[in-house]
């Protein structure tokens, strides 16, 4: 049997410790790996209901409109999750609506990363 392949995004953020706390609050993420150097720089692996991603301290994203990484989170109730993440401190890029067989909205978190929260509603 072949080993399965897992692709996990890695986010570079300015303020890794704050980013970890944001994702815990916004998405109920759990931290499954944590490394911190003496200067306070963080490397963390987070899980959102088994879907994992990494983040580490890195250069700040100065141009929020030019983000090379976008996360797509598929959930049963995108409206509720979207509202929860906005309440945690994200900004709306476009509201949750139905388009192309998906109910989806996009937001940008305080660290400049874009997230689409949605679910497929038709094939």
- Each residue of 2-22: pLDDT tens digit? 445 567 888 888 889 999 999
How far is it, in rounded angstroms, from Cα 118 to Cα 41? 32
pLDDT at 60: 52
- Main-chain dihedrals φ then ψ at residue 88, nearest 5 degrees: -75, -10
Lowest-confidence pick of 40-44, 64-68, 75-79: 64-68
If DSSP codes are grouped into helix, strand and coil, which group holds residue 114? strand
Percent of the chain with pLDDT over 90: 51
Lowest-confidence pick of 1-5, 21-25, 77-81, 109-113: 1-5
90 contacts 110 by C-beta, under 8 angstroms:
yes
Residues in the chain: 123
| For residue 99, pLDDT beyond 50 | yes
pTM of the predicted protein model: 0.70
pLDDT at 72: 84
**H runs (alpha helix) in 77-119:** 78-88
Q: Which CATH architecture has domain 10-59+67-120?
A: Roll (3.10)
71-76-79-81 Cα dihedral, nearest 10 degrees: -60
pLDDT at 101: 87
């Amino acid at each position: 049997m072949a080993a399965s392949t897992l692709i996990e995004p890695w986010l570079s953020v300015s303020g890794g410790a704050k980013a970890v706390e944001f994702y815990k609050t916004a998405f109920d993420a759990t931290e499954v790996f944590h490394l911190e150097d003496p200067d306070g720089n963080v490397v963390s692996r987070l899980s959102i209901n088994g879907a994992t991603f990494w983040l580490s301290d890195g250069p700040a994203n100065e141009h929020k409109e030019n983000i090379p990484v976008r996360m797509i989170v598929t959930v049963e109730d995108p409206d509720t999750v979207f509202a929860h993440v906005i309440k945690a401190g994200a900004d709306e890029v476009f509201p949750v609506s139905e388009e192309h067989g998906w109910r989806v909205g996009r937001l940008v978190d305080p660290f400049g990363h874009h997230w689409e929260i949605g679910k497929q509603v038709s094939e």
